[in-house]
């Protein structure tokens, strides 16, 4: 997996899905539902029980053009486990040199979490493919505009508190993409297998993030 493949996908969709649930009975169906709604970069958090098996099932059943990632990656052991499960990219909650080195060894792109300009620069220096500003809702879209001034070439991803009603605000302010979490991937929808609801919410999110009329 190359940095450019991930970044091209994020730029096209303007979204990345974050899946963090207590159980996921049918990962392939969830991935297909999100892809039908226009979200093709899908991150499964390591805080989800059995996530390695979930990632493996998602990768095996993913439609063409979909990338499956591992999220909440905090150390080298999780990098290795994510790679063994078939993850195609990694997402971290913060800056980690340990993760960066292990990811480079595994040839996996990393979206590294950060908040301050110092942390953003540190993440870039460690080889991050993109930098996730988390939690984005604590600083708002204007913060991305300020970061883009001195750091115009850093691909930024907004994560935390993003929904269809405010997704475009972050993209217009300079974010390459925004994270779709519980507003799109609802626990009740996943548990009941209501994949049409997931697709509908994903489509509304990506339509908004791209600044298009629904």
Q: pLDDT, tens digit, for every residue of 115-149? A: 999 999 999 999 999 999 999 999 999 999 999 99
* pLDDT given at position 2: 74
pLDDT recorded at residue 214: 42
Question: Alpha helices, DSSP H only, in 21-166?
Answer: 27-36, 51-61, 76-85, 97-106, 117-125, 141-148
- Greater confidence (176 vs 212) lies with 176
pLDDT above 90 for 83: yes
Closest alpha carbon to 157 in 18, 33, 1, 30:
18
Q: What is the pLDDT of residue 213?
A: 45
User: pLDDT grade, residue 3 (50/70/90)?
Assistant: confident
pLDDT band per the 50, 70, 90 thresholds, residue 72: very high
Q: Which domains does the chain have, with CATH numbers?
A: 3-209 (3.20.20.70)
C-alpha distances out from residue 66 to 53, 125, 191, Å:
18, 28, 22
Q: What percent of the chain has pLDDT over 90?
A: 96
Average pLDDT for residues 49-68, to the nearest whole number? 98
Q: Give catalytic status of residue 213 as yes or no.
A: no
Helix axes 27-36 and 51-61, enclosed angle (nearest 10): 50
Catalytic residue selected from 11, 132, 191, 213: 132
Residue 97, CA distances (Å) to 61, 101, 110 in order: 32, 6, 11
- Which pTM value belongs to this model? 0.96
Q: Rounded distance, CA 29 to CA 166, Å?
A: 27
132 included as an active-site residue: yes
Catalytic choice (11, 43, 53, 191): 43
């Amino acid at each position: 997996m190359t940095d450019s493949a991930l970044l091209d996908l994020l730029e096209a969709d303007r979204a990345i899905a974050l899946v963090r649930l207590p159980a996921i009975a049918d990962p392939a169906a969830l991935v297909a539902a999100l892809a039908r709604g226009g979200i093709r970069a899908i991150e499964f958090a390591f805080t989800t029980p059995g996530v390695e098996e979930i990632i493996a099932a998602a990768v095996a059943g993913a439609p063409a053009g979909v990338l499956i990632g591992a999220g909440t990656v905090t150390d080298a052991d999780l990098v290795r486990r994510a790679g063994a499960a078939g993850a195609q990219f990694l997402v971290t909650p913060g800056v980690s040199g340990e993760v960066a080195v292990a990811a480079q060894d595994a040839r996996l792109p990393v979206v590294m979490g950060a908040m301050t300009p110092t942390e953003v620069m540190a993440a870039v220096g460690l080889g991050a493919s993109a930098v996730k500003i988390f939690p984005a809702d604590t600083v708002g879209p204007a913060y991305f505009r300020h970061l883009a001034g001195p750091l115009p070439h850093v691909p930024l991803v907004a994560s935390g508190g993003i929904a269809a009603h405010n997704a475009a605000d972050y993209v217009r302010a300079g974010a390459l993409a925004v994270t779709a979490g519980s507003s799109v991937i609802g626990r009740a929808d996943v548990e009941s297998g209501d994949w049409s609801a997931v697709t509908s919410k994903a489509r509304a999110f990506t339509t908004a993030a791209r600044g298009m009329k629904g």
